[in-house]
């Protein structure tokens, strides 16, 4: 098969690869705040991804040494519905609206 330059990329070791779609969807990025002060509790984040079929994947993004570097760890999904605090509106909202 032939691919356009926009689809082809090189790996770190210089091997040619095709950038292929795995899934598409929506995301929510959550940060964690201290409930008393509403200041950041730490620098970790949680990235929640929903694909076009409604399947949800969740990952923790944890800062590591070095500028702009994060370790991504898959989170165990909790069976309960969760809400998030929106600092802009100062209200709770559904995670997926």
Strand partners, 74: 59
Task: Encode pLDDT of 27-39 as tens digits.
Answer: 999 999 998 888 9
Q: Is residue 85 part of a domain?
A: yes
Predicted confidence at residue 70, as pLDDT, reads 93
Domain of 86, in residue numbers: 23-94
| Cβ density class 61-86: b for 16+ within 10 Å, e for less | beeeeeeeebeeeeeeeeeeeeebee
Percent of the chain surpassing pLDDT 70 = 98
Integer Cα distance of 58 and 75 in angstroms: 5
| pTM higher than the cut 0.85 | no
Rg, the chain, Cα only: 18
- DSSP three-state, residue 71: strand
Domain count within the chain = 1
Q: Is residue 71 part of a domain?
A: yes
Share the mean pLDDT of the chain: 89
Task: Encode pLDDT of 26-73 as tens digits.
Answer: 999 999 999 888 898 989 999 999 999 988 899 999 999 888 899 999
Q: Name the helix (H) or strand (E) containing 85.
A: strand 83-86
Burial classification of residue 59, based on how many CB atoms lie within 10 Å of its CB (0-12 exposed, 13-18 middle, 19 or more buried): middle
Predicted confidence at residue 66, as pLDDT, reads 81
């Amino acid at each position: 098969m032939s691919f356009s330059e926009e689809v082809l990329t090189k790996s770190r070791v210089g091997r040619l690869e095709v950038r292929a779609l795995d899934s598409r969807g929506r995301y929510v990025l959550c940060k964690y705040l201290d409930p008393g002060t509403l200041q950041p509790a730490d620098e970790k984040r949680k990235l929640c991804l929903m694909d076009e079929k409604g399947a949800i994947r969740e990952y923790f993004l944890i800062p590591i040494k070095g500028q702009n570097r994060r370790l991504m760890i898959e989170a165990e999904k909790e069976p309960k519905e969760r809400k998030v605090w929106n600092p802009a509106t100062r209200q709770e909202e559904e995670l997926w609206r």
